[in-house]
Amino acid sequence: MTDHPPPYPGTPAEPPTDDSAEPATPAEGSAPAADSAPAEAAAAAPVRRSRKGLVIGGSIAAGLLVLGGAGAAAYAMLDGGGAQPEAALPASTIGYVRVDLDPSAEQKINLLRLADRLPDLSADLGVEIDEDSDLKQVIAEAVTASGECDLDYDADIAPWIGDRGALAAVPGDDGEPQPVWVLAVTDEDAARPALESGLGCGETIGADQVAFTEGYAIVTDGVPAADVVADTEQGSLADDATFAADMAALGDPGLVSFWADAEAALDWSLAAIPELTDGALPENDLKNLEALTTAAGALRVNPDGIELETLSAGDEAVVAPYRASGTSVTTALPETTLLALGGSTTPDAVDDAWEQFRELYDSMGSSLGGGALMSSTGAGVTAPTGRTAPTGPVGGDVDPLEEYCLEASKESLGITGDDLSDDEQMMIDVFMDACTGAAAEEPATVADDPWGGAGQPDFDGMVALLEEEYDLRLPDDLKTLVGEQVVLAVDSRGLESLDAVEGMDDVSAGLRTVGDTDALQDLSGRIDSLLTESDMDPLATSPADDGFVFATNGAYADELAGDGGLGSTDAYRSVVSPEDVSGVMYVDVDRLTEVLRPVLESDPTALGYLEPLRAAGMTTSADDTYAKATFRVSFD
């Protein structure tokens, strides 16, 4: 696993400043990433749960969001003024998710229009959805239709419910995060009995678990609600400088937003689960999490699609991998591109990733091909089936080490029988060389462990073997291959009928690298030699003005080396802003739907959800403070 999320696409657009503004297309700036995963991991700080906690959650869910289906299928801009949920939460809050229940009129229409374009959504949620629907009523009726709660919106909710709500993790007296639900109310006297009754979701809620502050109801599980209110009076989350800076950088919080104190969440997790520092969590993953300080994100909607933007703050190691300048090479792909995945990198980043891969390989203890795990047992190496490598000296008519390694290699690679193809024989030969130590010093006995004590083929030995046998020099050749930018692309042409695809040359796919053309040409020759020696067809190649192309067929290689104009298409521009991004992922959903239509015709529901979609894209970028990632989906 890498130190930082792999670079993928997209930079977010600046939200409109007023309700009349035209929908913004992706703009510069984006949101982090997918290890964006660090952001999500931080937001998911463990909290103590109980049966009553689930009941409370079911109750409050009636006023927060529609679960499943398309409850998270859009965003809306705030409809002016009023305290936000963070004003009712203490500054010690570890993380929270906020929902706006009453977006502005135009944005609510956008949301409901998009929902209405998904033909099966109303049926799946058990509610009617159109442009005149009351969003809060839709949510309440969807919860009722799910069978979780018995609610009458007009009688049980409408008289007191406000416009916003949140779910937060707040430290209890012992420091353990406790769930706290926050819901805006317009009438405390009407809200209290409704909340204490459980809103028809089962168990009742104790009076000490409900309190009110700043126009919000505070509902707790395990700690008195009055304690949360008292802590908030000493300082609210809204007044916290770090929180305020993060939310200001995020901009429009949309329909749903979240924030997490990653440092506090990690500190609690390590204290509560000491195994995380004892090898249960890979060292690199722990290092990445420790570098992260806070994370924030927002789900938004405009007339043509939805957008999820996230920010990750931390030290330079968090931000640097996402910082880039210039235009993504994905803009030069053919207009018929089905999907593309590209990113920029540096030699240092490749070196770091290579070292992380080495550490991951060593920590996994897996045999070549990932098929079998072997562990050192002192006297020998035990395969997953229980076979143990012989411990006596190598010798005799049948070399016990050779015999053992051959059986282990077949099992690891999933190869059966003795009639081997050239490809299978090549893989076994590589495994055998590493297993028997043929590329290293001669072991005096099998007990000396030809895996170098690692219980698996030696990493450096395999790298040396690739260089000796095939003239592939790692990681240097990997740096050449990825260059300054690299993009993997698959074209839609040739995929009109999947039945007609008989081999790789029937699919137009390729790799375009922005880098040293001469060095890439040299690498291409050495890769071709390896493929030819393995009785495989060489890749088609073509030099480009700024680098080189490897492809599955010659026509596509030549086309990929030119300027295909994908970046000027409406579909691409609806989900990707290609300037100053470190990574881009793009999928033409219209074309993908046509490719998959013969397969999906037996599943009309899946086809019904795909057909209204136009394209999907993700970008990553960074400024001086935040790593940014933005995921967008556009509708036809």
For residue range 285-320, list pLDDT tens digits in order.
Answer: 777 788 899 999 998 887 788 899 999 999 888 898
Residue 236 backbone dihedrals phi, psi, to 5 degrees: -95, 165
Asked whether residue 154 falls in the same domain as residue 265, the answer is yes
| Whether residue 93 sits in one domain with residue 207 | yes
- The range of the structural domain enclosing residue 128 comes to 38-315
DSSP string for 423-458: HHHHHHHHHHHHHHTTTSPPPSBGGG-TTTTSSS--
- Indicate whether 60 belongs to any domain: yes
Residue 1 lies in a domain: no
Residue 53: per-residue pLDDT: 39
Residue 503 backbone dihedrals phi, psi, to 5 degrees: -160, 175
User: What is the total residue count of the chain?
Assistant: 636
Any domain includes 497: yes
Inside any domain, residue 476: no
pLDDT over threshold 80, residue 97: yes
Q: What is the pLDDT of residues 527-563, one digit of tens each?
A: 988 888 877 888 899 999 999 999 999 999 999 999 9
Query: In this structure, are 220 and 272 located in the same domain?
Result: yes
Reported as a single tens digit per residue, the pLDDT across 570-615 is: 999 999 999 999 999 999 999 999 888 888 877 777 777 788 889 9
Q: What is the token pair recorded at 437?
A: 């130590």
Which of the listed residues 470, 496, 519 is the one where a domain comes to its end? 470
**197 lies in the same domain as 86:** yes
Domain tally for the chain? 3
Identify the domain boundary among 297, 315, 333. 315
Cβ of 356: how many Cβ atoms within 10 Å?
20
Q: Answer yes or no: do 311 and 328 share one domain.
A: no
Q: How many CB atoms lie within 10 A of CB 453?
A: 11
In a domain, 357, yes or no: no
pLDDT of residue 458 exceeding 70, the answer is yes
Q: Give residue-wise pLDDT tens across range 114-160.
A: 666 665 555 555 556 555 566 677 667 666 666 667 778 888 888 99
User: Percent of the chain, pLDDT > 70?
Assistant: 67
pLDDT at 112: 62
Q: Which two tokens stand for residue 408?
A: 């282990």
Q: Is residue 452 pLDDT above 50, yes or no?
A: no
pLDDT (0 to 100) of residue 567:
96
Q: Is residue 28 part of a domain?
A: no
- The answer to whether residues 191 and 124 belong to one domain is yes
- The string of DSSP letters for 240-273 reads -HHHHHHHHHH---BSEEEEEEHHHHHHHHHHH-
Instruction: Based on the fold, state whether residues 203 and 152 are members of the same structural domain.
Output: yes
One domain, residues 330 and 452: no
pLDDT of residue 67: 28
Of the chain, the end-to-end C-alpha distance in Å amounts to 37
Judge if 305 and 335 occupy the same domain: no
Cβ atoms of residues 408 and 342 within 8 Å? no
* 42: its two tokens: 């931080």
Q: What whole-number distance in Å separates Cα of residue 459 and Cα of residue 207?
A: 62
In terms of domains, do 333 and 382 share one? Answer: no
Single out the residue in 440, 470, 500 at which a domain terminates.
470
Q: Are residues 306 and 339 in the same domain?
A: no
189 and 169 within one domain: yes
Is 529 within a domain? Answer: yes
> Is residue 199 assigned to a domain?
yes
